[in-house]
Amino acid sequence: EAQVTQNPRYLITVTGKKLTVTCSQNMNHEYMSWYRQDPGLGLRQIYYSMNVEVTDKGDVPEGYKVSRKEKRNFPLILESPSPNQTSLYFCASSSQGAGGTEAFFGQGTRLTVV
C-alpha cells in the first residue's frame, strides 16, 4: 500500500530537548516536504527536498533542520524546541514536485512543547 509514515503520532516534550520526527514514503517519490498546521493558518511549508541531498527552506524554517540521505526518508529535527513550535506537523511526498500531481500526506504528528 502506497503510504507516507510519520512517527511519533503524538509527542510531549520539554523546551530545549532535541527531538526528531521521522517520515518515510514507499512510493519512490523524489519530492518530500514538511508542513506545520496551526488553527486558522492552514498548512505552512517548513522545508522541502527535491531529491536526495537536495533540501531547501520553505516559508517557516526557523528552529528546524532536515536531511535527505535516502530517497524514502526525510526526518524533521528540532534541535532546541520551544513552546511556539507546538503544532500539528505533516510530511508529504509527490512524484512531480510541489503541485505537479497530488501530494500524499502522512497521518500527522501532534507536538506539544512545554
Distance CA 64, CA 77 (A): 6
Cα–Cα dist 37/61, whole Å: 14
Total residues at interface with other proteins (CB under 8 A): 27
Per residue, what are the HEC states of 39-69?
A: CCCCEEEEEEEEECCEEEECCCCCCCEECCC
Q: How far is the CB of 101 from other proteins (least distance, A)?
A: 7
Least distance in angstroms from the C-beta of 18 to other proteins: 26
Contact between 28 and other proteins by CB under 8 A: the answer reads no
Residue 56 binding other proteins, by CB under 8 A: yes
Task: State the distance between the two ends of the chain, measured CA to CA, in whole angstroms.
Answer: 36
In the complex, least distance from residue 98 CB atom to other proteins, rounded to whole angstroms: 4
Q: Which three cell numbers stand for residue 85?
A: 513550535
By the rule CB under 8 A, 58 interacts with other proteins? yes
Per CB under 8 A, the list member of 15, 41, 80, 84 interacting with other proteins is 41
Binds other proteins (CB under 8 A): choice among 80, 82, 96, 112 = 96
Per CB under 8 A, the list member of 26, 28, 100, 112 interacting with other proteins is 100
Name the grid cell of 38: 496551526
